Amino acid sequence: MNLGLISFVALIYIGALFAIAYYGDREAERGRSLINTPYIYALSLTVYCTAWTFYGSVGRAATSGVDFLPIYLGPTIMAALWWFVLRKIIRISKIQHITSIADFIASRYGKSALLGGLVTAMAVLGVIPYISLQLKAVSYSFTLLWHYPNLALPDLDAIPILRDTGFYVALIMAAFAILFGTRHLDATEHHEGLVLAMAFESIVKLLTFLSVGVFVTFTLFRGTGDLFARAAMQPDLRRLFAFDQTPLAYQNWFWLILLSMFATLLLPRQFQMAVVENVNERHIETATWLFPFYLFVINLFVVPIALAGRLLVAGDVSPDMYVLLLPLERSANWLALLAFVGGISAATGMIIVETVALSTMLTNDLMMPLLLHANAFSASRDLSSFMLNLRRGAILLVVFLGYLFFRLTGKTFSMVSIGLISFAAVVQFAPALLGGIYWKGGTRRGALLGLLSGFLVWAYTLPLPLLAQTAGLGDAFIEAGPWGVSWLRPYALFGLTGYEPITHALFWSLLVNASLYLIGSLWSGESALEHRQAALFVDIFRHVGGSEQVQIWRGEASPLDLQTLMQRFLGRSRAEQLLSEYARTRGVTDWRALETDADMIEEVERQLAGVVGAASARVAVASIVTEEPLDITKVIHMLDETSQVVAYSRQLEQKSRELEAATAELREANRRLQELDRLKDEFISTVTHELRTPLTSIRALTEILYYNPDLPAAQRQQFLDIITKEIARLSRLINDVLDFAKLESKAYDWNLKPVNLKMLISDAFDATRQLFLERNITVRMELPDDAPDALTDNDLLMQVILNLLSNAAKFTTDQVTVRLRQEGDFLRVDVIDNGPGVDPAYRETIFEKFSQVPPPDGIRRQGTGLGLPISRAIITQLGGRIWVEGKPGQGATFSFTLPISPFKPSQETSHATT
Amino acid sequence: MPQPESPVPSHPPRVLIVDDEPNIIISIEFLLRQAGYTTQVAHSGEDALRILQQEPPDLVVLDIMLPGMDGFEVCQWIREHSEWNHVKIMMLTAKGRDAEISKGFALGADAYITKPFSTRHFVEEVHRLLTPPAEDRI
């Protein structure tokens, strides 16, 4: 065919593509978005279908039948999950200003520049061959069209670069990508023209492929029935209709479906179109059915074309080219040209989008972090134009690398193998990415380990053997393994044989990748930033917007510093504009009046992230914001508005807790008062009872005497005696109660002076002598002369000793001993009787007022029930201790101690001391 | 002091005094003997029950504040045994609150007198309790 004609048609198509892109961008500048429809979005996603689909599917169908299908079944399944997975990724990316998949993963794991660089490197290494494949397809189809009917493919080495169509295609693609892919500095802004052109491109490749399909099926044959019937007559073609009968065929299918599922999400160009260029989340709904439907339609004629090619095309020709050859065979040159345009369309679409995506990653996630780290820029320099030029340079670099790879290896590899190898490379992102949006536990170290190990296994099991073959030392390496170590054979690692190389590589790389990601994550901690990002990514739907983030990063920087920084990357006017907009949201008219806080730094970082990626933005901001090490007080001060609200509510909670505590205290005080009140009631009730008892005898006996004037004199005397005693008891009781009440209320007036205890005890004994004489009790006094005086209250102490003596007189059998001695700073007095003693169970109870302790021998003695309680109250307040000892049946020993001097009244009584 | 009629002429009714105050016991004993009754004394609840089991009296004059088992418990104990159904119980106590009086009657006391008591009233009550109802008389 005429070279001029072919070139002309190709240039017409590419010209149209430029025009459409230009139109789209111009309309966008006028404020009218042409891509804001779900259909354009869904069609732009079909950049998934490349020249590999256009030519390669037929090639694969012609050699291995339905095996081409998994590559399209996978995306169909994935599309069903988009609403859950893709929507989440889009939401995260919008809020975080994500520019690429490398940026996404880096951002998730604490904005790690290292991780971003690694993902970028993997993507570039994995995808460059894929780009070269597109160039190869264009170059070969062009040559075929030109040289037909000469089917021999030209020797690349013989063609100088300047005469190679692939080279020109590469240049044009680079130009397109630069023109429409780097119009804005902010990589998160939509490339409207680019997207519109891709949607157009998707329709062109679909229509041209369908045209060839219809032509082949209905012109060369009488419909599909005829075609299949004729193919069925050839045994080797009949085999293509059915599934492979090898035992592992299903596993191969499974892995291929899985591979293409992830590829739909993870290929840089798919991420670019589906996430970065997405205008509206709801567009996913349409894409969920339209995208699989497109895949279904474009694959309708793959098998017919493949079969027809096998039936009609003679000679040793790559089946990849059947789409062109069949029309050529029947001299339908216009159709061949159309098919050629379709092929170009598929290839260029892929090259352009992939290049834009890769160049963004290269500049933002690889070059900028390195340059920033190396402090390569003088502080004053405006970097906005530098950034743009850097990205343009990256585009040229990517396209050039693609072309270089094609020149070096173009002869060797089939399209399908290279396509799958690229897929397998990007699928390594799956654990880190999916884990990152569903599992907060995933850490930077885990992601690094997983990615790196997966990539190494991929490199060892897929590209390495291919390269080895190219270098001519492949067979030994593949068959026997390196250095003859058989379990290291790259296609049969650890003895896993029987799988296709791609399945084998996928199995091992994903297994190692996912395992190390898990283990690494579980065994490593996360930084505060990582933790925050993890929470933000995983819980994205709980966050309304980015402003909800609780900032835990604080440093010193003036608004002017931030403005200078933004100006360097965004240009003066854009920086001014963004800062002013931000100031307005904070209710400030001039951004210079803003106070730099965590929220503002976050905003600047977010804006920069849109230009240079999250990792670079963080490095850039960190360069001017001196970050201070976190300590707990800082963390508290680091509250942004949200957390101030939290703090305020904490204060409220604190107040409410204090109130609760106060309430509890009041309740407790009230309870104690009630308890005291109850005790007082009880005391009064007991006192009343104790008063009634002597009164009862007095009244009864008085009445008896009154009504019986003629009682015998002796009986009369007995009754009068009782009455007298009971009246004495009554007055004693009243005195005791009053004393006790005084002691209890601490209202007693202490009269402190030196008291000689020997004398005091002797006086007390004299006062009670009658009691002992009545019962014939022997009293022994052991009172040393040298016992020192005690500074104490004479009368109160006398009351205690009287009490103990009269108790002893009441309970003893026939003997009482009183002993005085000095014990250190204390004097000790023991009153020992040989009466019934005190049951150990009641040794404390008897010191309680009106205690109802059964008499040890069943005999009730006269008493007020207040003697011992009063004694204890006195001794305690004089600073001593009183207690009782002795075994039941062997007498009781009542003892007390008393401090000699200086007398220190217990704290509660000090104010009452005179 | 009016001389009470003897309800059962064969032998005088017996009264058990349960109290732990010796002087009160002296006065009650005097009053009851003067009225023609035989008396017995228990110093505690446990004492009282022992005497009850040996020789049930016709009336128990029962204090409440007793060492060990208290008067209420003694009263309840007596009323729980049907063989002592005929034994009358008079609470004679310093506890004079309404709740305590209600409790005494609820536990089966036949009379409740608070200390200090009127000797006349006391003797009348004893007499009333120990005189069978009119229709039972011959």
Chain A residues touching B22 at Cβ < 8 A:
860
Residue corresponding to tokens 């095996």: A67
Q: Find out whether A872 and A882 touch, Cβ atoms under 8 Å.
A: yes
CATH 3.30.565.10 assigned to A747-912: yes
Contacts of B116 in chain A (CB under 8 A): 692, 695-696, 698-700
Whole-number average pLDDT of chain B: 85
pLDDT tier, A176 (very low <50, low <70, confident <90, very high otherwise) = confident
The per-residue pLDDT for range A115-167, each reduced to its tens digit, is: 888 999 999 988 888 888 888 888 888 888 887 777 666 666 666 776 777 78
Phi, psi of A861 (to 5 degrees): -105, 155
**Considering only CB atoms, which chain A residues are within 8 Å of B26?**
697, 701, 718-719, 722
End-to-end CA distance of chain B: 26
CB A308 within 8 A of CB A466: no
Show which of residues 22-81 on chain B sit within 8 Å of chain A, judged by CB atoms. 22-24, 26-28, 30-31, 34, 43-44, 65, 67-68
Amino acid at A686: T
Q: Does A845 touch chain B (CB under 8 A)?
A: no
Nearest-CA distance B30 → chain A (Å): 8
Locate CATH 1.20.1740 in chain A. 3-241+266-410
Q: What is the dihedral of CA A178, A184, A188, A191, to 10 degrees?
A: -60
Say what the pLDDT of residue B87 is: 92
Does residue B32 register a pLDDT over 90?
yes
Whether the pLDDT of residue B125 is over 90: the answer is yes
Residues carrying CATH 1.10.287.130, chain A: 643-738
Interfacial A residues in 128-147 facing B (CB < 8 Å): none
CA-nearest residue to B23 within chain A is: A697
Contacts of B118 in chain A (CB under 8 A): 699, 703
Contact residues, chain B, for A853 at CB < 8 Å? 67
Q: Where is pLDDT greater, at A49 or A596?
A: A49
Cβ atoms of A794 and A751 within 8 Å: the answer is yes
Chain-chain contact of A696 with B116 (C-beta, under 8 angstroms): yes
**Cβ-based contacts of A681 with chain B (< 8 Å):** none
Q: How far is CA B26 from the centre of its chain?
A: 15
Q: How many other C-beta atoms can be found within 10 angstroms of the C-beta atom of residue A369?
A: 25
Quote helix, strand, coil % in chain A, to nearest 5. Answer: 70, 5, 25
User: How large is the average pLDDT for residues A214-219?
Assistant: 86
Confidence of residue A556 (pLDDT cuts 50, 70, 90): low
Q: Does B129 touch chain A (CB under 8 A)?
A: no
| Residue pair A93/A104 in contact by the 8 Å Cβ criterion | yes
- Residues A348-361 as b or e (16 or more Cβ within 10 Å = b): bbbbbbbbbbbbbb
Cα(A548)–Cα(A602) distance, integer angstroms: 11
pLDDT at A552 over 50: no
Residue A328: pLDDT over 80 = yes
Residue for token digits 């023991």?
Answer: A830
Token digits for B21?
A: 């105050």
Tell me which residue of A900, A751, A891, A895 sits closest to A819, measured CA to CA: A895
Contact A800/A811 with Cβ under 8 angstroms?
no
Mean pLDDT throughout A879-900?
A: 88
* Contact between A697 and B23 using a beta-carbon 8 Å cutoff: yes
pLDDT-derived band of residue A677, with 50, 70 and 90 as boundaries?
Answer: confident
pLDDT of residue A569: 74
CA contacts within 13 A on the Cβ side of A296: 8
| Crossing angle for the helix pair A528-538 and A70-96, to the nearest 10 degrees | 120
- Comparing CB atoms, the residue among B22, B30, B68 nearest residue A704 is B30
C-alpha to C-alpha distance for A35 and A22, rounded to whole angstroms = 13
> Any bridge partners for residue A832, and if so which?
A817, A893
CA of A775 vs chain B CAs: smallest distance (Å): 18
Count Cα neighbours of A171 within 13 Å in the Cβ-side half-sphere: 9
Helix, strand, coil proportions of chain B in percent (round to 5)? 45, 15, 40
Contacts of A594 by beta carbon, 8 Å cutoff, 6+ apart: A559, A579, A582, A583, A586, A588, A600
Share of chain A above pLDDT 90, in %: 10
As a whole number, the mean pLDDT across chain A is 80
The rounded distance, in Å, linking the Cα atoms of A265 and A261 is 7
Amino acid letter, residue A884: V
> Which value does ipTM take for this structure?
0.89
- Assigned CATH class of A3-241+266-410: mainly alpha
Report the distance separating Cα A602 and Cα A586, nearest Å. Answer: 14
- Considering only CB atoms, A700 lies closest to which of B1, B95, B117, namely B117
Nearest to A25 by CA among A170, A181, A174: A181
CB within 8 Å of A333: residues ≥ 6 apart:
A1, A327
Question: What angle is formed at CA A498 by the lines to CA A497 and CA A504, rounded to 5 degrees?
Answer: 70
Distances (CA, A) of A691 to A396, A632, A688, A708: 115, 69, 5, 26
Give which of A682, A691, A697 to mutate to test B binding, by max B Cβ within 10 Å: A697
Query: What distance in Å separates the CA atoms of residue A823 and residue A821, rounded to the nearest whole number?
Result: 7
What pLDDT is recorded for position A487? Answer: 72
The CA distance from B63 to the nearest CA of chain A, in Å, is 11
**Nearest-by-Cβ selection for B27 from A688, A701, A725:** A701
By the 8 A CB rule, do A702 and B30 touch?
no
Q: Which ranges in chain A are annotated with CATH 3.30.565.10?
A: 747-912
Q: Report whether pLDDT(A377) > 80.
A: no
Domains of chain B with CATH codes = 14-133 (3.40.50.2300)
- Where do the H-state alpha helices sit in A317-443? 322-329, 333-361, 368-373, 384-409, 415-427, 430-438
Q: A248-279 pLDDT, tens per residue?
A: 677 778 888 888 888 888 888 889 888 888 88
Contact status, residue A764 vs residue A805, Cβ threshold 8 Å: yes
Contact (CB<8Å) A693/B115: yes
pLDDT tens-digit series, residues A462-485: 888 877 777 666 666 677 677 767
Q: By CB neighbour count within 10 A (0-12 exposed, 13-18 middle, 19+ buried), where does A426 fall?
A: buried
For an interface test with B, which of A696, A725, A730 has the most B Cβ atoms less than 10 Å from its Cβ? A696
Query: Token pair 């590999």 is at which residue?
Result: A52
Decide if pLDDT at A508 tops 80.
yes
Reported confidence tier of residue B135, pLDDT bands at 50, 70, 90: low
- The CATH code of domain A643-738 reads 1.10.287.130
Q: Any CB–CB contact under 8 A between A693 and chain B? A: yes
Using pLDDT thresholds of 50, 70 and 90, give the confidence band for residue B57: very high
Does residue A704 sit at the B interface (CB-CB below 8 Å)? Answer: yes
- Mean of pLDDT values over A64-93: 84
Reduced 3-state DSSP string for A228-284: HHHHHCCHHHHHHHCCCCCCCHHHHHHHHHHHHHHHHHHCHHHHHHHHHCCCCCCHH
Distance of CA A191 to the CA centre of its chain: 34
Cα A738 to Cα A87, A642, A744, distances in angstroms = 87, 66, 10
Eight-class DSSP state of A12: H
| Shortest distance, CA A693 to any CA of chain B (angstroms) | 7
The more confident residue out of A219 and B31 is B31
Paired tokens of A155: 């020797």
Quote the pLDDT of residue A906: 45
**φ and ψ at residue A628, rounded to 5 degrees:** -100, 145
Q: Under a CB-based contact definition with an 8 Å cutoff, are residues A879 and A856 in contact?
A: no
Type of residue at A484: G
d(CA A175, CA A150): 32
CB distance from B95 to chain A under 8 Å? yes
B67:A726 CB<8 A: no
Record the pTM. 0.57
How do residues A762-773 score in pLDDT, each as one tens digit? 988 888 888 888
Given B28, B30, B67, which is nearest A854 (Cβ)? B67
